[in-house]
Amino acid sequence: MHKEDLKREISTTIDQIDQKINEMKSKRDDIQSMTKEKYDETLKMLDEKKDDLQSNYREIESASGDKWREIKHSLESAKISFKE
């Protein structure tokens, strides 16, 4: 996978996470209070994953060689984790 392809894929994943976060936030008021804690945990996790992806995206801008492969592997793992 080329750098530009990976950047495009990361950008798409960040957009998907953002969309999921916004959907969850809009539904939060409709759920029971006990479930809100679980919901809040999930929102926090999604926010953290999005932040990590955005940080990795910025690193790609200047990455080359071994660092590039390391970032690529990290992002592939993050992508799998998001889909779970």
What are φ and ψ of residue 64, in 5° steps?
A: -155, 165
**Whole-model pTM?**
0.57
Give the gyration radius of the chain's Cα atoms.
15
Number of domains within the chain: 1
Residue 48 falls inside a structural domain: yes
Q: Which domain holds residue 50?
A: 3-25+35-83
**13 in Cβ contact with 53 (< 8 Å):** yes
pLDDT, averaged across the chain? 81
Cβ neighbour number for residue 45 with a 10 Å cutoff: 12
pLDDT tens-digit series, residues 1-19:
688 888 888 889 889 999 9
Residue 30 falls inside a structural domain: no
Per-residue pLDDT averaged across 17-23, rounded?
A: 90
**Burial degree of 74 (CB within 10 A; 0-12, 13-18, 19+):** middle
